[in-house]
Amino acid sequence: MDVSRIDGTDVRLITPKVFGDDRGFFLETWSAREFSVLGTDVAFVQDNLSRSSRGVLRGLHYQVRHTQGKLVRCTRGSVFDVAVDLRRGSEHFGRWVGRVLSEENKKAMWIPPGFAHGFLTLSDIADFQYKCSDVYHPESERTICWDDPDIAIQWPDAGVDAYLLSDKDRNNASTLRDAEVFE
């Protein structure tokens, strides 16, 4: 497994060792021993799976209590995955990083607590898996506008006229300036 910082932030891109032959492939998706290279002791308590169609944009989500670190990967199709630093004291506060995660590249991202997370589906169908370090807590969930000009995420072309958003992401998202963030 190769672990690298994304653009100097605390978000990590994880490239697994893939063992393949004419039968298919095998890879280790998570190992406590290997994950310890991040310098953090993470206990995952919840796994999630979402399926999305082309042009679905989910996010930018985070929890102000029961903050979640997320180890995410796309196991079918491809997505553009984004993390935004919401830790006010961080030198990267308000800055986003993003990478394409796909079934082809088999990469994963570690998004530590204190970051908002979202993704845009680039393929016809995408299955996206999350390992979370805390439980989902709806009362603590917050959403920041996916198109907030202060964050200025450069979303790639997904080949659709308009992104498909949930009502929550369309109607209940705040701007970074008005968001409840981490001190």
CA-closest candidate to residue 51, choices 91, 114, 103: 103
Query: d(Cα 25, Cα 35) in Å, to the nearest integer?
Result: 21
**Catalytic site residue 130?**
yes
Burial (CB count within 10 angstroms: exposed 0-12, middle 13-18, buried 19+), residue 21: exposed
Q: Which of 62, 117, 130, 163 is an active site residue?
A: 130
**Catalytic site residue 66?**
no
For residue 167, give the H/E element and its range. Answer: helix 167-171
CA-closest candidate to residue 94, choices 114, 77, 80, 118: 114
Q: Which of 61, 62, 117, 163 is an active site residue?
A: 61
Query: d(Cα 78, Cα 75) in Å, to the nearest integer?
Result: 8
- CA distances from residue 47 to 72, 105, 133, 134 in whole angstroms, order as listed: 10, 21, 9, 10
The set of catalytic residues is 61, 130
